[in-house]
Amino acid sequence: MMLGLLQGIRVVVVFLLACLMAVPAGAATLGGLVSDATGAVLPGTRVVIRDVATGQESSVETGADGRFRLELPTTGTYLMIFTRYGFSETARTITVTDTAETLDVSTQLEVGRTAAEVSVTAARASAKTV
């Protein structure tokens, strides 16, 4: 009787291990440094990653050291968008082929135009004579 119970437990353990092995082992890691053309780091840069197939987005901001890190649970093609006030938006397309990958997606942003247009319209008042 004890032998039958041990064999039953062994079958359950083997089944559970097989199920665990079928689950993806982790997530791809994207990271990098965002800087300007002089190499100065850009803290507070918004990094958006969009799954091209599903449109699902997640975002993170670079830290004080200009670095960011994101984890992606699935393989696929992603659009990465980097934005920071005073700089031109930069976009990159990346393809993740393995969830065990670690990709360095360091990027340099170019100084962008920050312009405001002010339009003033005035009409001349008509003069009244008395």
Question: Which tens digit of pLDDT belongs to each residue from 34-63?
Answer: 999 999 999 999 999 999 999 999 999 999
Considering the chain, what percentage of its residues have pLDDT values greater than 70?
A: 66
The predicted structure's pLDDT at residue 106: 95
CA–CA distance, 43 with 86 (Å, rounded to integer): 13
Superfamily of domain 26-109: Immunoglobulins (2.60.40.10)
Token code pair at residue 74 = 């699935």
CA–CA distance, 35 with 108 (Å, rounded to integer): 5
CA–CA distance, 77 with 96 (Å, rounded to integer): 6
Confidence of residue 12 (pLDDT cuts 50, 70, 90): very low
